[in-house]
Amino acid sequence: MAKKILIVDDSRTIRQQVGFTLSKEGFEVVEAEDGQDGINKLQATPDISMIISDVNMPNMDGLAMIEAIRKIEQFKFIPIIMLTTESSGDKVERAKKAGASGWLVKPFNPEQLVGAVKKLAR
């Protein structure tokens, strides 16, 4: 059975690009358009095994989403990769403190994304 990955990004184009890249590698993809939608999809699809999320999104940003997810017992340790245009040390540090497992900068290299996902999917 394919591992399910939740992609959270307010850009439909990015969700489609990431989804296409991961689908080619045999992963199943679930999409959400902001942090709150991501939490809702995660709770509705409890067999999701990893999250890839943007930082800057409307309604609930990626950092607030991580903090909320880490408070839900069954998702406390789910791997979360931040995929964002943000590269400031402050945001990276806040994401790590919140519980992010990895950080990739857009535009992303498909091989780099797949490598990070496979490393954390073990």
Tokens in use for 35? Answer: 């942090």
Where along the chain do its domains lie? Answer: 4-121
Candidates 14, 21, 100; CA nearest to 57 is 14
Give CATH superfamily name and number for 4-121.
Response regulator (3.40.50.2300)
pLDDT at 99 over 70: yes
Evaluate if pTM is beyond 0.85.
yes
Q: From the centroid of its chain, how far is CA 40?
A: 14
Does residue 107 have a cis peptide bond before it, meaning omega lies within 30 degrees of 0?
A: yes
> Per-residue pLDDT tens for 7-41?
999 999 999 999 999 999 999 999 999 999 999 99
Q: Which residue type sits at 112? A: Q
Q: Which amino acid is at 54?
A: D
Q: Encode pLDDT of 32-86 as tens digits.
A: 999 999 999 999 998 999 999 999 999 999 999 999 999 999 999 999 999 988 7
